[in-house]
Chains A and B, each alone.
Chain A
Amino acid sequence: MSAHQNPTPEEAARTLRDVEQRRIQAAEGSGGARWVYVVLGLAAFLLLAAPDWVGDDAQAWVSIGYAVLAVAYVVLLRTRRGSALLGHRTGLRKDELDGAFMRRRRLTLLAVVAIGLVVSVLGARVSLDLPYWRSGVGALLGAVVIFLGPAWDRAVRTRAVRGGRTVTEGPGAAR
């Protein structure tokens, strides 16, 4: 765009589209480091598999450890330095996110955590014929967190930002 004259409608639409794309790029770039997902996946595995290997007594300690890890993660994310430690290169603005989408996401996460807790508590009491079934479930959940976590997290962040605003309409606007 020239600094001395008004842009044409096509140039203006293209520039607006670029501004929108850059905003979405910020959401895509706000993910954490791979090692964070590895730690969270291993923690999920330990939470579920502990009773198989060290007995039911370990369940409480592992649960406390997992809770401490989750709280530390959330606290670190609230500061620039903490986020940088976790591999985040940008911090997303909350008002950039679609409120309804984020509420649905929070409810889904709560449901998953609740199901996980119910399964781990019931798993400590219920004995299936299948040996080490809790370790199997833990390994599956851990693998999902480690291998699919980054892509899922990126997709959610991008969707949350895209859902919050509409792309500017006009001549040459992307459809």
Chain B
Amino acid sequence: MPRAEFDSVLLDSTRLTIVSLLAGTRWAEWSWVRETAEVSASALSKQISTLERHGYVDVKKGYVGKRPRTWVALSAAGRAALEKHAAALQQIVDSSRRATEQ
């Protein structure tokens, strides 16, 4: 059986949660990601920095009226990494199913 190739960055559950949330969006507000992922502001900031360093997310800052906003978007590299990671997980599930059927 070929060994499943996981993305090392996404082995962290918080980072996987963040990337999964962003996968369905063109962009998301930083505060929405924090609330939905149920992590503290400092923890999110740290994980987003890691993802940004690996080129998995793009971060943009701006203003809406006088209020500052930060938007996060999954990059093409981040999307590819998530797909690769999900494929590796699916491979384990499929292998187990085949073994059960035999």
Contact = CB atoms under 8 A, between A and B. Distances in A.
Interface string B73-102: 000000000100010011011111100100
Interface in A109-133: none
B23 interface: yes
Q: Provide the main secondary structure of the chain A interface.
A: helix
B57 interface: no
Interface in B37-66: 60, 62, 64-65
A1 interface: yes
Interface residues of A, number: 35
Given A27-B24, A81-B64, A170 B96 contact: yes
A91 B32 contact: no
Given A91-B27, A93-B25, A80 B71 contact: yes
A93 to B, nearest CB: 5
Contacts of B8: 3
A18 B20 contact: yes
A25 B36 CA distance: 8
A89 interface: yes
Interface of A: 1, 3, 6-9, 12-13, 15-16, 18-19, 22-27, 29-30, 80-81, 84-85, 89-93, 96, 161, 168-171
Given A9-B97, A19-B86, 13 more contacts: A1-B11, A6-B92, A7-B92, A13-B93, A15-B16, A19-B23, A23-B21, A26-B21, A84-B64, A89-B28, A91-B28, A92-B25, A171-B93
